[in-house]
Structure 1
Amino acid sequence: MPTDPDVWSAPVADGPVAARVPLPGSKSMTNRALVLAALADRPAVLARPLRSRDTELMAAALRALGTGVTRDGDAWRVEPGELRGPARVDVGLAGTVMRFLPPVAALATGEVTVDGDPRARERPMGPLIEALRALGAEVDDGGRGALPLTLRGRGGLAGGAVVIDASGSSQLVSGLLLAAPRFAKGVEVRHEGPPVPSAPHLAMTVAMLRDAGATVETGPDLWRVAPGPVTADAWTIEPDLSNAAQFLGAALVTGGSVTVPDWPEVTTQPGDALRGLLASMGAEVTRGPDGLTVRGGGAFGGLTADLREVGELTPVLAALAALADGPSRLTGIAHLRGHETDRLAALVREINGLGGDARELPDGLEIRPRPLHGGLFHTYDDHRMVMAAAVLGLAVPGVEVENPATVGKTLPGFTDLWSGMLTGRE
């Protein structure tokens, strides 16, 4: 047993799991709702928000610009205020904060400096910076096309039409759209380049804008948001379906059963794709009054899938693939090289470090089954690498997970939830 507090011994399942696992709110929905509430014309309450590093960073960023964000029991109350600098904003390693906050900061009066963790300075930001300049913002990034950057706001932004290559992240579009109702001319965003990944997240942005009273039109690689008021009295945040991946996957690995309650009947969350993906690997998947239930039957097959729209599920699916009975081919995910870490390289390195057979493709991963052994699994400050390691540890004794606390980015208390699942506790 390791004594290093920065290493977690992933527990091995001693039989089929049988658990009900309630999940906290969606990070993607929470941070979108925070932005829209900050730009609204009256106070709003966010019910069941996620409280994690990413969402606390967004709340702190909005507070720094003059928005009131306070806890109200299990909810957040947001009081819009005059956006103003000077302010310094820490985005950590949160893609939503680093892409959603600058367009909001461009509406402020005064100077706002935006920076984050060292890896944040390597993540794609150039297209957003150039788009903001084209829409009338003054942005000083030192010519890097990356963080850190400083916006010098004049209390508003002209807006208008802009062309952007968002093939690196759909968040580059979402960031512009969320703030666009407050632009003088609104915005018309046209994407030119390879396909935009994570289309469900763009659908989420559009749906939440419309829920807040904005007028939004969409077409192929085109989004228009008209100027106008934002009205958001209340948001109820759905459970984070992407964070269900490792728990539902545990049913497949152990031949057991896991239920995630409150699974929405209709949702824009990418994690809803887990129903079809796990079924194609051999799981029995049902949705009923109790939530979504996944049952495993022992051995399970590999997965061949284009994950372009659901790339965030890749680390857990890759871990499942390493334990499957047949080969897997996961494609459409070249953009994951620009995530919290280069996820493709990291997954290959760590799966192979445990004796696996994984290799990179130009746009994905190929994984073939091989007997695995224990060892140290590095996580690269990436929450989803911790989740992948936990899945492997269910079937492989001796998986030691580096820096498990990094999972607090989106799922604080993950290791307790994981242990509770294995003992049948909620």
Structure 2
Amino acid sequence: MTGNPVHTALWPAPLASGPVEATVTVPGSKSVTNRGLVLAALSSEPGWLRRPLRSRDTLLMAEALRTMGVGIEETVSSATSGAGSSPDTGEAWRIIPAGLHGPAAVEVGNAGTVMRFLPPVAALADGPVRFDGDPRAYERPLHGVIDALRTLGARIDDDGRGALPMTVHGGGALDGGPVEIDASSSSQFVSALLLSAPRFNQGVEVRHVGRALPSLPHIRMTVDMLRVAGAAVDTPESGGEPNVWRVSPSALLGRDLVVEPDLSNAQPFLAAALVTGGRVTIPDWPRRTTQPGDALREIFTDMGGSCELTDEGLTFTGSGRIHGIDVDLSEVGELTPGIAAVAALADSESVLRGVAHLRLHETDRLAALTKEINELGGDVTETEDGLRIRPRPLHGGVFHTYDDHRLATAAAIIGLAVEGVRVENVGTTAKTLPDFPDLWAGMLGSPAGAAPVRRG
């Protein structure tokens, strides 16, 4: 059974008494794992995902694909030779495509990738596929995907909500073709259509109409992974029209993909180096990546640290000072909670801009960050599209997470410098970062869940 374990007890965030010195191996990227699962499921031959992330979101994606007929075998791979092999070792998932079918019931939890990427897949299935999820999932926008799929020929019952729960009545195929959508509330609307588009009879032409698109790196990730799987994609960056993406119909190839570490999940550990004036190394940090988390190198350097990227990974070193920052985070909105946490400990004001869409994420992240940091003594105000953070002396207290994994890790960052921070439901981090309390304690050299750390 997949699901987020319930840990509602208050977790005492460990207090660092000195500079952190650690190497932290971060699990694989959720974004890459879930895109890789969808593309492999739609391929014409079996493929592999090496070092996949095992978290609530990815296990929900895998189980959903299984309910529609896809074979996913979890193995521990070793160095082998021959066709389809990889020199990589470690956990691997073998994905075996099959005829997609209903009736099926998909549990999305509160995973944006599952609730948005899989309705187009379900439209290709033969039979009805029912989608349901956590209560918060009912509040997250799906209209962009639902309306687009109807334009492209799908039949969907959602009682006019533009949200969960809903049923996609798959007809075994989808016409595809041109469609206009407003994806200003989530770039996942675009990625959702592009990922399945090679299997549409006419492919797809997605034209975004509306305000500026958030999280463009995630669309670039989708495009790169489609091309690796053999799809022909025309994008604005490759000379196409602005805000238009075209995918031609084609067979997708089964690939052997090694999943990169999740760079956004590396954020709290890099922040620990910045907050404590220490040094943290993240092994296997890629030299080239479409992951938004790569922006941390520049952002955290601007806030007072320095970094070095080598063949071994990324080493980030804090200077002992934290500076405020004025930054547009529209392309990397998921980094906002961690940056806000660091900014609350800085020596000058910060302005975080371009992230109005965070009000529609796992929770209203702007309202939550404002409330929780202020209740610890901070001075945070919401703006039209972000946050203004004026550092103040902080004190201990309960930091509520609203079932949002990035709120929990933001609280842990503050807890490094503020004694007595207690984090409600730290278990919500299992959504994308399994065993976070153990990783955090390991970084600090302390038992998980222990009282605040004091090291000489």
- Report the TM range for the smaller structure's normalisation: over 0.9
Q: Secondary structure at the match of 1:309?
A: coil
Aligned match for 2:110, one of 89, 93, 99? 93
Counting only pairs closer than 5 Å after superposition, residues 15-414 of structure 1 correspond to structure 2 as 15-73=18-76, 74-219=91-236, 220-414=242-436
Q: How far is the alpha carbon of 1:97 from its aligned partner?
A: 0.5
Q: How far is the alpha carbon of 1:70 from its aligned partner?
A: 1.6
Q: How far is the alpha carbon of 1:124 from its aligned partner?
A: 1.1
Q: How far is the alpha carbon of 1:325 from its aligned partner?
A: 0.5
Q: In 1, distance between residues paired with 2:365 and 2:351?
A: 15
**Equivalent position of 2:454 in the other structure:** none
Q: How far is the alpha carbon of 1:16 from its aligned partner?
A: 0.2
Aligned match for 1:7, one of 10, 22, 26? 10
Q: Secondary structure at the match of 1:16?
A: coil
Q: In 1, distance between residues paired with 2:312 and 2:174?
A: 47
Residues 18 and 424 of structure 1 are in contact (CA less than 8 Å); yes or no, is this contact kept in structure 2?
Answer: no
Residues 8 and 427 of structure 2 are in contact (CA less than 8 Å); yes or no, is this contact kept in structure 1?
Answer: no
227-236 or 347-356: which moved more?
A: 227-236
Give CA-to-partner distance per residue, 1:54-113, whole Å, 9 cap, x none: 000000000000001120111111110100000010000000001100000000000101
Q: How far is the alpha carbon of 1:424 from its aligned partner?
A: 8.7
Q: How far is the alpha carbon of 1:199 from its aligned partner?
A: 0.5
Q: In 2, distance between residues paired with 1:365 and 1:300?
A: 18
Give CA-to-partner distance per residue, 1:221-254, whole Å, 9 cap, x none: 0000000100022111000000011100100100
- The residue type paired with residue 201 of structure 1 is H
Q: In 1, distance between residues paired with 2:321 and 2:29?
A: 31
- The residue type paired with residue 383 of structure 1 is H
Where in structure 1 are there 5+ consecutive unaligned residues?
A: none
- The residue type paired with residue 29 of structure 2 is S
Q: In 1, distance between residues paired with 2:310 and 2:397?
A: 39
Q: How far is the alpha carbon of 1:128 from its aligned partner?
A: 1.0
TM-score, structure 1 length as denominator?
0.98
Residues 103 and 175 of structure 1 are in contact (CA less than 8 Å); yes or no, is this contact kept in structure 2?
Answer: yes
Q: Percent identity?
A: 63
- The residue type paired with residue 221 of structure 2 is M
Q: In 2, distance between residues paired with 1:424 and 1:190?
A: 51
Residues 19 and 424 of structure 1 are in contact (CA less than 8 Å); yes or no, is this contact kept in structure 2?
Answer: no
Q: In 1, distance between residues paired with 2:122 and 2:68?
A: 7
Where in structure 2 are there 5+ consecutive unaligned residues?
A: 1-6, 77-90, 237-241, 448-456
- The residue type paired with residue 398 of structure 2 is L
Q: How far is the alpha carbon of 1:288 from its aligned partner?
A: 1.2
Instruction: Give the length in aligned residue pairs.
Output: 422
Residues 8 and 424 of structure 2 are in contact (CA less than 8 Å); yes or no, is this contact kept in structure 1?
Answer: no
Q: How far is the alpha carbon of 1:423 from its aligned partner?
A: 1.6
Residues 8 and 426 of structure 2 are in contact (CA less than 8 Å); yes or no, is this contact kept in structure 1?
Answer: no
Q: In 1, distance between residues paired with 2:338 and 2:250?
A: 41
- The residue type paired with residue 106 of structure 1 is A
Q: In 2, distance between residues paired with 1:217 and 1:170?
A: 17
Residues 20 and 424 of structure 1 are in contact (CA less than 8 Å); yes or no, is this contact kept in structure 2?
Answer: no
- The residue type paired with residue 181 of structure 1 is P
- The residue type paired with residue 77 of structure 1 is R
Indicate the RMSD between aligned Cα atoms, in angstroms: 1.0
TM-score, structure 2 length as denominator?
0.92
Residues 101 and 127 of structure 2 are in contact (CA less than 8 Å); yes or no, is this contact kept in structure 1?
Answer: yes
Q: In 1, distance between residues paired with 2:60 and 2:446?
A: 33
Q: In 2, distance between residues paired with 1:154 and 1:254?
A: 56
Q: In 2, distance between residues paired with 1:183 and 1:26?
A: 27
